Amino acid sequence: MEATQFRYPLLLLLLTCGLAPEVVAEVEESSGDPSAAQEPVQLTDVPAAMEFIAAVEVAIIGFFQDLEIPIVSVFHSMVQQFPDVSFGISNDSEVLAHYNVSGNAISLFRLVDNEQLKLEGEEIENMDATKLSRFIMSNSLRFVTEYNPMVMLGLFNAMVEIHLLLMMNKASPEYEESMRHYQEAAKLFRGKVLFVLVDSGVKENGNVISYFRLKMSQLPALAIYRTLDDKWDTLPIAEVTVDQVQNFCDGFLKGKLHKSEEKTPKEEL
């Protein structure tokens, strides 16, 4: 039991060790260019808010009693930083009541696991742009989420404990078709397995690939793991098909490992 509890943060640590400096720099660089300002969508009634949330994989809504408080401008600054996330804002009392907001809150709604994460109370009072952007970056999980060290944090906080990684070079000619199949398979495992893409063309992702004891020459490959007990399995694949992904996931869910030996992380980790 203790060994498991000890290994869990090690995996997390390993996979997030590339984190700190670059991510922070990126966050600070991209914030605050007012000329490129984009606005969150104003949600003026409950049906509009519901429709907005239902239409996208990830929606982030600011629920504010008062639009003059400092957190509102921090919220606005996120919109241009995350162009592929949908931002809404509301100060309508019925909308706030519907979403059970009594003060001010920022909520993230995601489709992949029906999760709703809410920042409120003190968390909102102490929120700054760096913290809010980390929250968004790590928790914006989609049917297929592209890996980066921040995403790893969000994956480990998710209720879904089984994660599937496709390690593949985004520049390869098969990438687009593979991704279509991978997306399709991801929908079949909604709420059961979270799907991640690891671009093997990104040098920093090498540590993820070597963690699963894969070599570049074996890619593309699938790796699946369960955060609960660090159990994992891998499968190098010639091409990504829905069937192959589905069989691999089903097998793992049934407790079958692709290779007979029990795989545990390397001792020196």
Residue number, 72 or 257, with CB nearest to ligand NAG: 72
In the complex, minimum distance from the CB of residue 158 to ligand NAG, in angstroms, rounded to a whole number = 18
In the complex, minimum distance from the CB of residue 190 to ligand NAG, in angstroms, rounded to a whole number = 19
Length of the chain: 269
In the complex, minimum distance from the CB of residue 258 to ligand NAG, in angstroms, rounded to a whole number = 40
Residue of 38, 73, 100, 247 that binds ligand NAG (CB under 6 A): 100
Residue number, 69 or 257, with CB nearest to ligand NAG: 69
Q: Work out whether 210 is an interface residue with ligand NAG (CB under 6 A).
A: no
In the complex, minimum distance from the CB of residue 40 to ligand NAG, in angstroms, rounded to a whole number = 13
Q: Work out whether 44 is an interface residue with ligand NAG (CB under 6 A).
A: no
Please identify which residue in the block is written with the tokens 């997030």.
16
Q: Work out whether 93 is an interface residue with ligand NAG (CB under 6 A).
A: yes
With CB under 6 A, what is the number of residues at the site for ligand NAG?
7
Residue number, 92 or 250, with CB nearest to ligand NAG: 92
Nearest to 165 by CA among 207, 199, 213, 204: 199
Alpha carbon distance 164, 166 (integer Å): 7
Q: Work out whether 67 is an interface residue with ligand NAG (CB under 6 A).
A: yes
Residue of 26, 46, 72, 98 that binds ligand NAG (CB under 6 A): 98
Give the CB-side neighbour count of residue 211, counting CA atoms within 13 A: 25
Backbone angles phi, psi at 135, to 5 degrees: -60, -45
Nearest to 102 by CA among 124, 84, 86, 80: 124
Between the alpha carbon of residue 134 and those of residues 27, 31, 187, the distances in Å are 8, 13, 26
Residue number, 38 or 114, with CB nearest to ligand NAG: 114
Q: Work out whether 91 is an interface residue with ligand NAG (CB under 6 A).
A: yes
Q: Taken in order 141, 143, 149, 155, is the CA torsion positive or negative?
A: positive
For residue 24, the surrounding DSSP H or E stretch is helix 20-30
Q: Work out whether 182 is an interface residue with ligand NAG (CB under 6 A).
A: no
Stretch that binds ligand NAG, among 9-17, 87-95, 139-147, 160-168 (CB under 6 A): 87-95
Residue number, 99 or 195, with CB nearest to ligand NAG: 99
Give the pair of three-digit tokens for residue 161.
Answer: 């404990």
Alpha carbon distance 62, 76 (integer Å): 9
Alpha carbon distance 27, 131 (integer Å): 10
Interacting residues toward ligand NAG by CB under 6 A: 67, 91-93, 98-100
